Structure 1
Amino acid sequence: MTIPNCNKVDQFSYFDAKNERRTRYVLALTFVTMVLEIGAGTIFGSMALLADGWHMGTHAAAFCITLFVYRYARKHSHSGKFSYGTGKVGVLGGYTSAMLLGMVALGMLFESVHRLVSPVKIEFNAAILVAVIGLVVNLLSMLLLGHHDHSHTHDHSHTHGHDHHQPHSHQDHNLKAAYIHVLTDALTSVLAIAALLVGKFVGWTWLDPIMGVVGSVIIAKWAWGLMQQTSPILLDKAIDESYKQRIAATLEQADVSLQDLHIWKVSADHFCATLTLKDQKMREPAFFKQLLGDFDKINHLVIEVNPA
């Protein structure tokens, strides 16, 4: 007997392929800049160049995670190895990148506090040049990634006793994580340029580590926000209670007893649901699926009907 592949949820799309290509360009740009900065820092003895080069290295690692996620999702999108598709692969990539961002923020905070306690001599001209180069590279990377909430609208058609043909806004947490990495680097460059200019012309050298503390707090906040968006999906968070209550009210109008109801996220934009009903008339599950047809957040619905 041939088992049908019903794995239609959140398949790898044209938009994901486009995002993968953009990320590859940004990775190449970031890697070249990293090599140049580390090489120049080693030759000219500039700690500022070396530090920024290794900072670029952390972002290059994050982009490698992003590309791996896209390739893995594309490879397994039609394999049937995942019950509800590969949607969570991108979410997991976003969560992992958020963890890396958190570590970067922690490292920045530690280094900034250390420099407040033990100030070091700053080579302002070289440091300003590095910060400007980094800012230009990150602005170009942001342009390549093309951030528009990293979502797009497209149609999914699923058959569960009847056809769903609803538009969905597809959230790409994987690309969003890559974009936040670039955005944080751009932010640190802007803060560094401001602090270095003030330090050079006014003499407030303490402003440089203070800006580092500010930047680390902002980056940590972005990382926490991304973790809050992705962790509920990875943990199969249930849909909000009001949505469940609307389903229960709809079924109650059909004179049926709702015994069990579970609705959980299987990707950034898709929910699955299982319902157990008791019906005196023993109507077919297809009847209740049609009755719940307006609840378009549910992409895969399983209904069990038992005698009352």
Structure 2
Amino acid sequence: MMATMEHSHADGTHSHVFLGTDHERNERRVWMVIALTTVMMVVEIAAGHWFGSMALTADGWHMSTHAGAMLISALAYLYARKHAHDPRFTFGTGKFGDLAGFASAVVLGVVALLIAWESALRFVSPVEIDFNQAIIVAVIGLVVNIVSALLLKDDHHHHGHYHDDPEDHDHPHESHAHHHGTHAHHSDSHGSHTHHGSRDNNLRAAYLHVVADALTSVLAIVALVLGKWNGWTFLDPAMGIVGGIVIARWSWGLLRSTGAVLVDAMPQQRSIVAKIRGVVETGEESITDLHVWQVGPGHHAAIVSLSTRGETPAAAYREKLLEIEELSHVTVEINAAA
């Protein structure tokens, strides 16, 4: 059972810091990948200019778009950390990562469309390929992407049961009828937990960008090697279309999971709701209204309205609820049963 703590200020308020447990580590890793990508970009553009290689120059500029996508993730980490205690953000800055992940998913989808479109054009108007040069560039890109993927691999989490499809989980809304009486109380608390199974969608977005780039490099190497040996030049655009379709699917999955968090549709809600009911509804009480949503990686908030004939104070229910690992912020409202 995880211990709970209150983060209280001198004025009696409490903090709303709902950043992921590995926020700073993940932020450092993304900046490292940006540095690596930028160095490779400069080297490739310089080498392309020096040796008159259009393939190297083109891949260098492609690296710049890759670094730009990483920058979205890095700045989101930075902003969320710098403004974690800003009272303007009622439930903290934990969702900035999901916002950045959503933006990155849009960029990834556009990249997928561009790859597929350019590949389709090459079917209609084939271009002459310098196979040796193109293979060298693709191998360089693959090595950089493998190193980047290893840096960004989320090796601490994914132990929870997460689903990309918010439609697979109903968003339950109990009856909104309240019976206000003399026993009505309202209290809330912030719990600090180490959450297992939490997923950082910002890191996931950055990771998918480098994995998508690695996939295109692998497909390009296969197409170029077979094209050089067997003259199968059609494989180059064909592999491009295949890569575009796979990346588009990844983009769609990322859009759905980040979008679900942004609109407060909780993919893991059924299991959390079941735990809340198991803790609160013991016979004398019944939940009349319940809202659960994600406020950061591994952090969830809940508003629980319940009807009871007993005399148990709201604080007691709150403390029991904060023993649920996924919950970090709980508001309890008690209404006297009719």
What TM-score do the two structures reach when normalised by structure 1?
Answer: 0.86
Gaps (5+ residues) in structure 2?
1-8, 161-186
Q: Is the 8 A contact 2:188 2:329 kept in 1?
A: yes
Cα displacement string for residues 156-181 of structure 1 (whole angstroms, at most 9, x for unaligned residues): xxx95797756434422212211211
User: Which stretch of the first structure deviates more once superposed, 128-137 or 202-211?
Assistant: 128-137
Q: Which residue of 1 aligns with 2:135?
A: 128
| C-alpha separation in 2, matches of 1:166 and 1:160 | 20
Q: 1:73 aligns with which of 80, 84, 96?
A: 80
Q: Is the 8 A contact 2:98 2:202 kept in 1?
A: yes
Amino acid at match of 1:186: A
Gaps (5+ residues) in structure 1?
154-158
Aligned sequence identity (%): 47
Counting only pairs closer than 5 Å after superposition, residues 250-269 of structure 1 correspond to structure 2 as 251-269=280-298
| C-alpha separation in 1, matches of 2:320 and 2:154 | 39
What TM-score do the two structures reach when normalised by structure 2?
Answer: 0.79
| Structure 1 segments (4+ residues) deviating >6 Å | 161-164
Higher helix share: 1
Q: 1:10 aligns with which of 8, 13, 18?
A: 18
Counting only pairs closer than 5 Å after superposition, residues 1-308 of structure 1 correspond to structure 2 as 3-11=11-19, 15-148=22-155, 167-238=195-266, 240-241=269-270, 243-244=272-273, 247-248=276-277, 251-292=280-321, 295-308=324-337
Cα displacement string for residues 39-60 of structure 1 (whole angstroms, at most 9, x for unaligned residues): 4444545332233222212210
| C-alpha separation in 2, matches of 1:267 and 1:162 | 13
Q: Is the 8 A contact 1:170 1:268 kept in 2?
A: yes
Q: Is the 8 A contact 1:91 1:234 kept in 2?
A: yes
| C-alpha separation in 2, matches of 1:167 and 1:12 | 8
| C-alpha separation in 2, matches of 1:182 and 1:260 | 43
| C-alpha separation in 2, matches of 1:87 and 1:209 | 41
What RMSD, in angstroms, separates the aligned Cα atoms of the two structures? 2.8
| C-alpha separation in 1, matches of 2:192 and 2:18 | 14
Rate the CA distance shift 1:231–1:192 in 2: closer, same or farther, 3 A. Answer: same
Rate the CA distance shift 1:207–1:102 in 2: closer, same or farther, 3 A. Answer: same
| C-alpha separation in 2, matches of 1:267 and 1:74 | 12
Aligned residues: 302
Amino acid at match of 1:37: E
Cα displacement string for residues 217-271 of structure 1 (whole angstroms, at most 9, x for unaligned residues): 1111111222222111111114534643554465443312432211122223222
